[in-house]
Amino acid sequence: MHETSGTVIPAEKVTLQQKELWLKIEEFLGKKLIALEELLQDFTASDVAAMQEMMDHMIGNRGKRLRPILLFLCGSFNPDAVDDYVLLRAAAAVELIHSASLIHDDIIDGAEERRGKPALNVLWGNRPAVLAGDFLFARSFELVASCGNFELIKVLTRTVSIMCEGEIEQGGHVFNLHLTEQQYLHNIYRKTAALMEACCSAGASLAGLADDAVLLFKAYGRHLGLAFQITDDVLDITGKSSLIGKPVRSDLREGIITLPLIYLLEDPVWGSHLREVIEKRDFSSIALSFLDYPDCINGPVRRALARAAAYIDEAKACLSGLGNVLPVEILKNLADFVLEREY
């Protein structure tokens, strides 16, 4: 068994390449990742038992720590200029922002599961869960403030406001059968890619890199984030809930029209079938079983994954001038992981 996303992934599902990637990350960032866990524990401590229990549930049930890893990696290109204390605090802050956003997202979506465990809103109810998200959000900005870096505060606060706009915008698109690919892409930039973009640009800025280099890392993060959300949306249709740690096909049930669904709606035969299911709001397993037919789903899924692959190529191209050093190799491998992941 292998633990990466909080769900326990059967060992046979973790490819050799993925094992090698996590080993490389440990080799390069080992001490920083241990310090990160300690800081996350410190900054989620509460004297109020129920809050502490919710924090343990959320932070203990760990994800891949992808966002702090991105910040550390992009912050590693100029070690003499970096203040490790600030880098570590910024890395912990982005993980707390991410966790806060997932708690609030699960309340908004009425989600039941997160990372293979019941969502916070299920175990404690919506009111305590809202406050747990607010608590994490506040603690993340206590961390950011302690860095004493106005630019970092500006980038992260602006990013959170963009994420909120993304969630509102997504709510406005619910069951919109006319959602365009362009509208979808704008939305996933706001809700997902903006934070990855901010992690990469913040890391590069904290390392004192020149503006044009910061912009390249920022673009890497943006493209990675767009590809990440597209693969997430594909996994919602084709994935296994035991691997992704949440029920499959919940996007459709919630009316979230994702890229593979936009493409499926364009299909002359299956498109009208999907339209009918959505219009009737019949999301029973039987009604959705057509999504299992290879004839129906393979085309839209392949097309969506090709879109994600194009973003991954663009992400990797941003790193082309940086030579063959280990952090570049890891950033490129992470990009491949985003495309190939099953969890």
Please, which residues bridge with residue 114 across strands? 117
Q: Which is nearer to ligand FPP, 75 or 245 (CB)?
A: 245
Choose the stretch contacting ligand FPP; rule: CB under 6 A; options: 81-89, 156-164, 275-283, 318-326.
156-164
By beta-carbon proximity to ligand FPP, the closer residue of 245 and 327 is 245
Interface size with ligand FPP, residues (CB under 6 A):
16
User: What is the nearest approach in angstroms of Mg ion to the Cβ of residue 239?
Assistant: 14
The residues facing 117 across adjacent strands are 114
Backbone angles phi, psi at 44, to 5 degrees: -115, 10
Q: To the nearest whole angstrom, how small is the minimum distance from the Cβ of residue 102 to Mg ion?
A: 8
Among 167, 267, 336, 342, binds ligand FPP (CB under 6 A): 167
Find tokens 């969502």 and name the residue. 119
Supply the minimum distance, in Å, between the C-beta of residue 255 and Mg ion: 12
- The per-residue DSSP string of 133-201 comes to HHHHHHHHHHHHHTTT-HHHHHHHHHHHHHHHHHHHHHHHTTT-TT--HHHHHHHHIIIIIHHHHHHHH
Using alpha carbons, select from 20, 23, 30, 21 the residue that is nearest to residue 72.
Answer: 30
Binding mask 88-117 for ligand FPP (x = CB under 6 A): ---------x--xx--xx---x-x------
**Minimum distance between the CB of residue 231 and ligand FPP, rounded to whole angstroms?**
12
Binder of ligand FPP out of 46, 62, 137, 336 (CB under 6 A): 137
What are the Cα distances from residue 335, in Å, to 221, 223, 308?
10, 9, 10
Nearer to Mg ion, 91 or 129 (CB): 129
Q: Does 191 bind ligand FPP (CB under 6 A)?
A: yes
Compute the least distance from the CB of residue 206 to ligand FPP, in Å: 20
Q: Which of 6, 99, 109, 229 binds Mg ion (CB under 5 A)?
A: 109
Query: Which span sits near Mg ion by CB under 5 A: 9-17, 105-113, 199-207, 227-235?
Result: 105-113
One of 133, 203, 239, 327 touching ligand FPP (CB under 6 A): 133
Smallest gap from residue 105 Cβ to Mg ion (A): 4
Rounded to a whole number of angstroms, the minimum distance from the CB of residue 216 to ligand FPP is 24
CA-closest candidate to residue 141, choices 129, 126, 127, 156: 156
Q: Does 105 bind Mg ion (CB under 5 A)?
A: yes
Tokens of 40: 């996350």
218 binds, among ligand FPP, Mg ion, none (CB under 5 to 8 A by kind): none
**Which of these, 323, 324, 338, 318, lies nearest to 69 by C-alpha position?**
338
CB of 246 to ligand FPP, least distance (A): 6
290 binds, among ligand FPP, Mg ion, none (CB under 5 to 8 A by kind): none
Phi-psi region of 294 (alpha: psi -120 to 50; beta: other; left: phi over 0): alpha
Taking only Cα atoms into account, the Rg of the chain, rounded to an integer number of angstroms, comes to 20
Q: Compute CA distances 291 → 203, 230, 232, 255, 287, whole Å.
A: 41, 17, 16, 16, 9
d(CA 330, CA 69): 10
Taking CB under 6 A as the criterion, the residue among 44, 149, 187, 192 binding ligand FPP is: 192
Q: Are 14 and 4 in contact (CB under 8 A)?
A: yes
Partner touching 84 among ligand FPP, Mg ion, none, CB below 5 to 8 Å by kind? none
Only segment of 33-41, 109-117, 145-153, 167-175 that touches Mg ion (CB under 5 A) = 109-117
Looking at the DSSP bridge assignments, the partners of residue 2 are 9
Q: Which does 288 bind (CB under 5 to 8 A by kind): ligand FPP, Mg ion, none?
A: none
Residues in contact with Mg ion by the rule CB under 5 A? 105, 109
